[in-house]
């Protein structure tokens, strides 16, 4: 029939508002008179802000000078980044002895190596890797940073940590390059894969014990110089406090949240009151109490380690905040999930560990990461009690003879530093959400 077109008609050109820059501008920025005025106004503001920042921070800035006065002599209107550059070691490491900085760097590299397997594909035993990071790495790093005499306990923990790190690296390499895990690999390479399970286990334990003893003997003679915690500072100190806080606040928060929802009255009341007390007192009050009131109760000349006090305070605080976040996540899980778990015969811990928590925590990732970002920024409060975190160091620059009065540049640098850290955390949280998403968004 003649009505039916047998050839496709020509594609029409897209309307101007689609696809062209002009169209986009029209649609988004100049859709109405009011919008146009707003756009011009905002552009105007952005232009002047960015221009001023550019001139101050880049175009007129001085990068090489010995004193602030020299900066002024070169260009009086620009930022004096030379001072920040001269202070970089101080900003990152605080008052840590400059000959011992390798210890902090090594500690950081070890943490990276330790955790890298978590992000590598095909590596097995990731839960063990994560657990050992929280349980063993702090001892190795702690000794590396503080130094001095190792007690017997510390010797054992350091040895365990070194063995765990070695096993972790080997396991990751095997998993990444040839598939499988470390125990299987050992058993196969000594041709015992046909042997009974008990024998295999004994062989592995023997290897572990031999390795442990060898490392133990070696580390007995390995000591590093004492560096008092009073010399810790800068971004390093911020990371130590925030790192320990983050690593311990989440487990603590989960336990407290479960405690608060427990059917056992004692546990519920204890958890609830603990959470409520710590959430109703400002962190700064507790920090003050701990450092100025505590020595009055202590024997003469007894000085508590302020850093430990601060870390404990930060951990308890954030555990309480996270407990409420986790509890919110738990509330969101429908009853059917619990009932389902019960029907297939799971007990309390298995129900929580396998069914409820994975869902609850996944829902709460944005809030949990939000708490972590808050924690990182809260660490700047420790300056009040005389610890030299990164912000205190930045503020000290303006009081150092050669750089007298250099405070704007320092604060701008600090803002950029914190932005980078917090933005990275936020980005990682988005990535985790996407990765863990099971597709039923509601």
Contact residues for other proteins, defined by CB under 8 A: 67-68, 72, 76, 86-87, 89-90, 93-98, 228, 230-231, 233, 288, 291-292, 295-297, 300-301, 303, 383-386, 388, 392-393, 395-396, 398-402, 404-408
Joined together, the tokens standing for residue 338 give 């619990």
- Name the percent of the chain in helix, strand, coil, to the closest 5: 75, 0, 25
> b/e map of 87-106 (b: 16 or more CB within 10 Å)?
beebbbbbbbeeebeebbee
Query: Which residue number, 96 or 372, has a Cβ lying nearer to other proteins?
Result: 96
Tell me the closest approach of the beta carbon of residue 300 to other proteins, in angstroms: 5
Give least dist CB 318 to other proteins, A. Answer: 23
CB 407 within 8 Å of CB 397: yes
* For other proteins, the closer CB: 87 or 321: 87
Instruction: Please state the closest distance from residue 94 (CB atom) to other proteins, in A.
Output: 6
Question: Is 62 strand, coil or helix?
Answer: strand
Nearest of 295, 247, 251, 217 to residue 142 by alpha carbon: 247
CB 366 within 8 A of CB 207: no
Residue closer to other proteins, measured from CB, 149 or 197: 149
Q: Taking the complex as a whole, how short is the minimal distance between the CB of residue 55 and other proteins, in angstroms?
A: 16
| Minimum separation from the CB atom of position 99 to other proteins (A) | 11
Tokens read off for 414 = 């600090």
Least distance between other proteins and beta carbon 215 (Å): 33
Residue with tokens 């405070």: 407
- Three-point CA angle 378, 384, 389, nearest 5°: 60
In contact, 79 and 61? CB cutoff 8 Å: yes
Distance from C-alpha of 243 to C-alpha of 376, rounded to nearest angstrom: 8
As measured in angstroms, the least distance from the Cβ of 221 to other proteins is 25
* 60 vs 433 by CB, closer to other proteins: 60
Q: How far is the CB of 271 from other proteins (least distance, A)?
A: 23
Alpha-carbon distance 132 to 115, whole Å? 10
Whole-angstrom distance, CA of residue 376 vs CA of residue 317: 13
Nearer residue to other proteins within complex by CB, 42 or 304: 304
- Which lies closer to other proteins via its Cβ, residue 93 or residue 143? 93
Helix (H, G, I), strand (E, B) or coil at 317: helix
Nearer to other proteins, 359 or 383 (CB): 383
**Rounded CA separation 431/433 (Å):** 5
Shortest Cβ distance from residue 292 to other proteins (Å)? 5
Q: Cβ distance 287 to 333 under 8 Å? A: no
- Euclidean distance between CA atoms 353 and 127, whole angstroms: 13
Q: Tell me whether residue 217 or residue 226 sits nearer to other proteins (CB atom).
A: 226
Candidates 151, 158, 157, 144; CA nearest to 225 is 144
Closer residue to other proteins in complex, CB, 330/393:
393
- Closest to other proteins by CB, 60 vs 184, is 60
Residues whose CB falls within 8 Å of the CB of residue 340, separated by 6 or more in sequence, listed in order: 355
Neighbours of 230 (CB within 10 A): 14
Residue 288 CB, nearest approach to other proteins (Å): 8
């Amino acid at each position: 029939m003649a009505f039916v077109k047998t050839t496709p008609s020509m594609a029409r050109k897209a309307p101007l508002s689609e696809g062209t820059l002009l169209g986009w501008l029209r649609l988004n920025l100049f859709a109405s008179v009011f919008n146009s005025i707003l756009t011009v106004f905002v552009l105007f503001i952005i232009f002047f802000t960015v221009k001023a920042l550019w001139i101050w921070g880049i175009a007129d800035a001085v990068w090489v000078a010995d004193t602030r006065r020299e900066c002024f002599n070169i260009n009086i209107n620009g930022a004096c980044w030379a001072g920040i550059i001269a202070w970089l070691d101080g900003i990152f490491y605080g008052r840590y002895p400059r000959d011992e900085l390798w210890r902090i760097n090594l500690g950081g590299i070890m943490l990276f190596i330790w955790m890298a397997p978590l992000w590598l594909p095909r590596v097995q035993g990731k839960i063990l890797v994560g657990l050992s990071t929280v349980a063993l790495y702090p001892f190795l790093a702690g000794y590396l940073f503080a130094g001095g005499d190792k007690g017997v306990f510390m010797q054992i923990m350091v040895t365990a940590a070194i063995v765990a790190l070695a096993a972790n690296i080997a396991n990751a390499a095997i998993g990444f390059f040839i598939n499988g895990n470390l125990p299987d690999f050992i058993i196969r390479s000594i041709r015992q894969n046909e042997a009974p399970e008990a024998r295999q286990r004994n062989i592995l334990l023997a290897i572990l014990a031999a390795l442990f003893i060898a490392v133990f003997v070696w580390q007995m003679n390995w000591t590093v110089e004492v560096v008092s915690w009073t010399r810790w500072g800068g971004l390093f100190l911020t990371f130590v406090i925030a790192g320990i806080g983050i690593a311990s606040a989440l487990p603590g928060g989960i336990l407290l949240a479960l405690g608060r929802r427990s059917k056992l009255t004692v546990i519920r009341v204890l958890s609830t009151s603990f959470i409520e007390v710590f959430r109703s007192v400002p962190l700064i009050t507790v920090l003050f109490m701990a450092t100025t009131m505590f020595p009055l109760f202590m024997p003469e000349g007894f000085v508590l380690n302020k850093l430990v006090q601060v870390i404990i305070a930060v951990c308890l605080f954030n555990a309480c905040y996270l407990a409420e976040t986790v509890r919110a996540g738990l509330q969101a899980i429908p009853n059917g999930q619990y009932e389902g778990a019960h029907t297939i015969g799971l007990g309390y811990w298995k129900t929580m560990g396998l069914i409820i928590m994975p869902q609850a925590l996944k829902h709460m990732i944005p809030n949990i990461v939000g708490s972590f970002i808050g924690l990182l920024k809260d660490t700047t409060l420790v300056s009040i009690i005389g610890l030299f975190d990164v912000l205190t160091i930045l503020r000290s620059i303006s009081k150092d003879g050669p750089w007298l009065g250099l405070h704007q540049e320092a604060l701008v640098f600090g803002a950029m530093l914190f932005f980078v850290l917090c933005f990275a955390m936020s980005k990682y949280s988005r990535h985790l959400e996407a990765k863990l998403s099971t597709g039923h968004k509601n």
